[in-house]
Amino acid sequence: MRKYFSQITMLLLIGAFCCIMPALAQDERTLIDFVNQALENTRQVDSLAVDLQQMTRQTVSSLGLLVNRNFEQLLNGKTILQKTNPRAEMSLALNFIVEDLNIQGTPSVADSLMQTIDIIVLDGQIYARIRDAAPTITTPVPNQWLNITASANVIPGLEITAMERYLDMMMAGLQYPVTTSVVTSIGEIDADELDGQTMRVFDISLDWKRLRLLNQDEFELLNQMMHDLTDEIEGMFSIRVWVGADDELVHQVQVTANTEREFDRDHQNAYDTVRIRETHRLSFRYSRFNEPFEIEAPDVNSE
C-alpha cells in the first residue's frame, strides 16, 4: 500500500534544460499568468473542501499473457490551512485490482483489494482507522481510531507520519507546473458552470520529459507516476483547470497522463518483447472556500 499512498502527494516547478520547446505566443503567456495567479489565490485561502478521484491503469503484455492492474482512489475531506496549526480530516477509499488474462482476453486470475482509510491531522498528531476492508486484507485493528504519530507501525502501510504528506495529498491539484518552461500549449475553451458560478476553463499540455526533472522531494506524485520513464518512452501529460470568473479561485483540476513503452528481454532462453501501457487520470474538486470548519480529535482505540 505504501507505493500507492505515496501516489496520493504532488508536483510543481522545473529546470529549464532539456529539448528546445516551441515558443509560446503572447496570448498563451497571458493565460499562463492568469492560471498561475488563480492557483496561488487558492493556495492562500484559509480553508477548503476537496474531492479527489484517481484512476491508474497498467497493461503489461509478455510471453502471450496480458496483466491488467487497476488502482482506484477516492478522497474527500476538508482542511484548514493555517501555517502554524494546519488541520485536516479526510477519507480515502482504495481499490487495487490485478487481473491476469491470456492473449485472447480470458480471465485466469483476478484479485481485488478494497478498503477505506479515515485520517485526521490535528495539533501535530495523525489519527487513522481502517474500515470496510475486503476479506482478502488482514487488518490488525479494524474500525478503531489509532494515533499513528505515537505508534508509527501500528497500521502496516501507514508508516508515513509527517503530517505535511497528508495535507499535500489534498492540495496536490493546486501544485501543477503551469510555467513557460514546461507548458507546450494552453488555450481557453467554452465556459462552464460550477458552484453557481461561471467558470473559465483552460486546456494545458505539458512536456512530460521536462516533468521528470521536477524536484524529487517536493513533487513526489509525478515522480512516482514517471519514476522509470526513459527518453524512448512515448507519453503525454495534460491538465484542464476550472477558474471562477468572479472569485478567480480554482474549483476543479483534471489530469491525464498516458505512457507507452516496449523493451526486449531474455526470459528463460526465450527472447520476448514486453509492452507496457499506463494511463493515469485524476480529478480534484475544490469548494467551500474559507468556511469555518470544525475538526476534532477522535476517541482513540474506539470504533
Q: Answer with the residue of higher pLDDT: 209 or 80.
A: 80
The answer to whether 201 touches 190, Cβ cutoff 8 Å, is yes
Contacts 24+ apart (CB under 8 A), 150-153: 150/125
- According to DSSP, the β-strands at 197-206 and 183-194 are antiparallel
Domain ranges of the chain: 2-287
The answer to whether 230 touches 208, Cβ cutoff 8 Å, is no
pLDDT in tens, 189-210: 999 999 999 999 999 998 877 7
Residue 223 confidence (pLDDT) above 60? no
Question: How far, CA to CA in Å, does 43 sit from each of 176, 177, 204, 221, 250?
Answer: 12, 14, 20, 18, 9
Which residues are registered as beta bridge partners of 26?
none
Task: For 90-151, give the DSSP string.
Answer: EEEEEEEEEEEEETT--EEEEEEEEEEEEEEEETTEEEEEEES--TTS--SSBT--EETTTS
pTM, two decimal places: 0.79
Q: What confidence category does residue 174 fall into, taking pLDDT thresholds of 50, 70 and 90? A: very high
Q: What confidence category does residue 124 fall into, taking pLDDT thresholds of 50, 70 and 90? A: confident
* Region 41-60 average pLDDT: 92
Q: Answer with the residue of higher pLDDT: 58 or 99.
A: 58
Phi, psi of 27 (to 5 degrees): -65, -30
Residue 215 confidence (pLDDT) above 60? no
Place of cell 527472447: 271
Query: Judging by beta carbons within 10 Å of its beta carbon (0-12, 13-18, 19+), is residue 67 exposed, middle or buried?
Result: middle
Average pLDDT, the chain: 78
Q: Answer with the residue of higher pLDDT: 118 or 268.
A: 118
> What kind and span of H or E run contains 41?
helix 26-43
Q: What confidence category does residue 137 fall into, taking pLDDT thresholds of 50, 70 and 90? A: low
Q: What confidence category does residue 69 fall into, taking pLDDT thresholds of 50, 70 and 90? A: confident
Q: What confidence category does residue 245 fall into, taking pLDDT thresholds of 50, 70 and 90? A: very high
